[in-house]
Structure formats: structure tokens, C-alpha cells
Amino acid sequence: MRILVTGANGQIGSELVEVLRERHGTGQVVGLDLNPPPTATDQPSRAPSSNAPFEVADVRNREALADVLDRHEVGSIYHLASLLSATGEQHPDRAWDVNMSGLKTILDLARSRPVEKVFWPSSIAVFGPTTPREDTPQNTVLDPTTMYGVTKRSGELLCRYYHRRYDLDVRSLRYPGLLSYKTAPGGGTTDYAIDMLTQAAAGRDYTCFLKPDTRLPMMYMPDAIQGTLALMDADADALSVRDSYNTGGLSFSPEELAATIQARVPSFSCSYAPDERQHIAENWPSSVNDDAARTDWGWAPEYDLEATTADMLDHLREGTPEHGDVAEGEHEGATA
């Protein structure tokens, strides 16, 4: 049985596909996205091998997805295709359609086939202004203020419903902002951190679109990938959460990140010009409590802010990141 990854060209998808193929073999992992994967000419480091199965399809197209699942004999699915927070506010109808229709199509098809597990990412965007901002509990008030957050909370409830009603093994994490040096961010409010590090590595200053003291949960991509795989590897009986697990990694503000960068790049300077994304960020937690994930399946991030910054800068300095075109609606980027 093969593994299907939707949104495979995105920030998470491109790195998850690579790790899964290392684990299970290139031919065992099928990528799916609106556009073909990068070619060796366009982006050598991200181009898959010639025998890597890949499908070009819209996740809302039930017939096309059914054909992919059947033809490749898919046994597990990582459904990452999504429209993110800032982009979703610009196109709320499309965000609802892509995020919710795509998820329900995947769940419907999975329950009628021999699919063992489905992974779907949620986000800190499910929280809101009345949610406790510090050490946000696993079970708390959820009042999202963006269409992206609305779709993520609705998706959590849908996943839990399919588990209870149809015994479909759906698993989920509430990702914070994700940091990666390999691919471009996809329209998230937490994307300032990647932009700041990229500019610093190139010897340029940066103007941040959030206020300097806006603390948000973050996570380095290696931790996010390993956490996702650890959850999928866990015994189903050990899982006490069937909507979505809180997962914390880092919590820092733009000024804290800038100071950490300046310790390594003394010439770097950061200024601030908050825009509409500041309002989104103010409705999200500054840190989350992830005790349930740590207890149930051993969640334990490895990277702190200093280690993340050092590793990001080292890789970014090796060359300009290959930030190709991002197809709107089919990428799970920073997930916030």
C-alpha cells in the first residue's frame, strides 16, 4: 500500500515527501498538487527522481482523487493542501472551498477504501481573542477570527466526527508557525520569521509587518516533520485527542528573533511597519501547552531559538533559497 501526500509542492509537503521516500522508498510515496513538481533545471534540490510517482489534480475533484487512490492502492494519506491565513482573508470563499471541500472529499474517499490512516494539519489559528494567550490549554475556548481559522476548527470537528462515526483513523496536529530554509512561505502571518532570516543571511536589513513584541508559537521544520511522523507511528489506543493535538516548539517575538540574528550577523538591522497581519497575530496564543502530545505519543522538539537561527542562517548562506512559484490553494505553508 502506498502513501499519498496532497499539497506535495508546498512548504511542508515538499519536505515531508522527501523524508517519507527515504523511509519507505521513492516509488511508495505519491505526491499530488495542482502543478507538477519542480524540474531538475528549475530547482535541482527539490526535483524528485524520475521514478517518483506524482499526480496533478485538484483536491476538490472527487473523481480524480478516487482514481489516484485506487490506481496507486493508497493505504495512508497526508492531506496538506490548504489556503493559509493571510491569503485566506483575501479570498475567503476560495479558502472555505479548498480547505473544507478538499478535506471532506479526502475523508469520504478514505472511509470507503482500505485506507488505514489519514493525517490532516490544523493550526494555532483555531484560537482567538478569548482564548488564554499564554500556555494555551489543549481543551479551551476556540473562537477563530480568520476564515483560515474557521476552516481549521471546522476541519478538526469533521475529523473527530469521521473517527467517531466511521472509525476512520484520522490524526492531526495544531501546527504553530513553521520555519524552513528550503521552500518559500505560502501566505501565513508567521512568515515574517523566514523572511527576516532570509534577508539577514543575504546581508540585507528587514522591515517586519508585525510589532516588535508580538510573541507567537513557532517550530523548526525538522521538528514538525518528526512530530508528524511520530504521531502517525503511535498506537491508536494511546491517542486521547481526536480533533487536533497542541504542539509547541518555540515562542518568540520579532525583536527576540532579530536580537538572536544580530548575535551572529552584527550588521543586521530590523525595523517595524505593522500591517493587517498584526490584527491576526494579536488573536493567537503566545505559547501553547502540549502536555497531551508529550504524554500520549512522546512529542519532544529538539530545536530552541538559538539552534534554529544558527541552522537556518548556515543553510541560507549556502545559496539563495529556491523560492519558486506557489500555486494558490494547494499548499500548506507556515500553517498560520
Active site residues: 148
Q: Which of 148, 110, 142 is nearest to 336 (CA)?
A: 148
All residues at 6 or more sequence positions from 191 whose CB lies less than 8 Å from its CB, including other chains: 86, 177, 185, 333, 334
- What phi and psi, each to the nearest 5 degrees, are found at residue 255? -70, -30
3-state secondary structure at position 41: coil
Q: Cite the DSSP H helix spans in 169-285.
A: 192-201, 221-233, 254-262, 277-282
* DSSP string across 53-92: -EEE--TT-HHHHHHHHHHTTEEEEEE-----HHHHHHSH
| 147 CB burial (10 A radius; 0-12, 13-18, 19+) | buried
Cell numbers found for residue 20: 517519507
Residue 222, CA distances (Å) to 16, 28, 310 in order: 9, 21, 14
The beta strand positions in the chain, using DSSP E, are 2-6, 29-33, 54-56, 74-79, 117-119, 122-123, 170-171, 173-175, 177-179, 206-208, 216-220, 245-246, 250-252, 270-272
How far is 243 from 99, CA to CA, in rounded Å?
Answer: 16
Report residue 117 CA to chain centroid gap: 18
How far is 92 from 126, CA to CA, in rounded Å?
Answer: 16
